[in-house]
Amino acid sequence: MKDLYRSALKKAIKDKVAWIVIGKLEETLRRRDSEIEQLAGALEETKRENLALRTALTVALS
């Protein structure tokens, strides 16, 4: 009977650890997604700035 309890406890601990790890991975993925969205926004802003500068340069050289 003792082995049955020990086995059940080990399984419960493994399950709990697995859920903790999954939670940490989900948190990391959410953080990375947020970082990617911020970088994408910065890239779009840089593209707009580059287009504005290119247009201004073209007008200045015309």
Q: What is the pLDDT of residues 1-60, one digit of tens each?
A: 888 889 999 999 999 999 999 999 999 999 999 999 999 999 999 999 999 999 999 999
At residue 48, φ and ψ (nearest 5 deg) are -65, -40
Full-model pTM: 0.65
Residue 57's alpha-carbon distances to 5, 45, 60, in angstroms, are: 77, 18, 5
Instruction: Return the pLDDT at 2.
Output: 80
Instruction: Return the pLDDT at 21.
Output: 96
What does DSSP assign to residue 1? -
